[in-house]
Structure 1
Amino acid sequence: MPNNVLPVHLSRAALRGRTPAQIEQHLAECGWTNAWRNGIYRFHHYHSTAHEVLVIACGQAHLTLGGEGGSRMQVGEGDVLLLPAGTGHRNDGSSADLLVIGAYAGGREWDLCRPGGTDVEEARQRIARVPGWDRGPVG
């Protein structure tokens, strides 16, 4: 897992009480676009071409960040998690009502990289080329 020298940012309950449409609009106003609605994969993965924001619109989840043996955390409604490109993440279990809104800094296209299935050195080169974000997803 390449991860990133930039830290993960977690803003607890920052967007609590907003509808999915309101969350997507807020993210777009902050420059986080190419949004989707779903859950979080139950396998370790990362994105080497984009910084990703995950907003828990509904429900809760237990996550592992950084790959096998990484940091574990619980997230719930309204929590906003900013994952710099290369940051490993996995859903270790979630409520049945989990709904996540994801988006990418500058609307960048994302890839799906898995440990053992992606050349890590090539991924690190892609990660190094990902531009920073102009504005955080919380505002």
Structure 2
Amino acid sequence: MSIPQPERLHLDSDEATGYPNSPLPVLIYRQVLDIRNAEERANTFESMFKQHGWPPAWRYHLYDFDHFHSTAHEVLGIFRGQARARLGGPNGQELMLYPGDVLVLPAGVGHASLEADDDFCMVGAYPPGQKPEIERGDPAQLAAAHARVAAVDLPENAPVGGSLTPLWGEDS
């Protein structure tokens, strides 16, 4: 299987809402898996993420409130249903998520579901040793959130394969 090239989405810090976001881009991989069966798609995402050093942590939907994780990078593999999501916090950008898509969210990037199919579900994973805390934007805590985001180690591999360095390196 060839490694697809992701779309890159840069999201600036939002001082008004307290969402740190990240200097690293969100990576949006479209149609990584062309598997019709949702359970098989979920199992394949879990195997793929684990193989590339991102152990699967859960199967669930996307919360319907803006939140971020300042202590962990996150990968989301959509295996069932579709959703309209927002990235970057309350003032962020909207995008559609479909089965087979993968989002790689750098630590600090706000995300929320705005509308989703009843059966929408994803596989979520994090690099080893990274534990996500669910945080909401707080302008008074933005500097502390930025410091936590900056301290999160960058994983070597992308969860779909290949090196993250050219995607999240100094030129990202």
Q: TM-score range by the shorter chain?
A: over 0.9
C-alpha distance in 2 between matches for 1:111 and 1:105: 14
Match of 1:8 in 2: 26
TM-score by length of 2: 0.76
Q: Identify, as 1 or 2, the structure richer in strand.
A: 1
C-alpha distance in 2 between matches for 1:103 and 1:58: 16
Q: In the alignment, which of 50, 54, 58 is matched to residue 80 of structure 2?
A: 58
- Deviations, residues 83-127 of structure 1 (Å, cap 9, x unaligned): 000001110010011111010123511111101398222111111
Count of residue pairs brought into register by the alignment: 139
8 Å CA contact 1:47, 1:87 repeated in 2: yes
Within 5 Å, give how 1:126-137 maps onto structure 2.
126-137=148-159
Within 5 Å, give how 1:65-80 maps onto structure 2.
65-80=87-102
Sequence identity (%): 40
Residue 136 of structure 2 corresponds to residue 114 of structure 1: yes
In structure 2, stretches of 5+ residues that fail to align are 1-18, 162-172
TM-score by length of 1: 0.93
Which of the two has higher C-alpha Rg? Answer: 2
3-state SS, counterpart of residue 154 of structure 2:
coil
Q: Which has the higher contact order (CA 8 A, sep 6+)?
A: 1
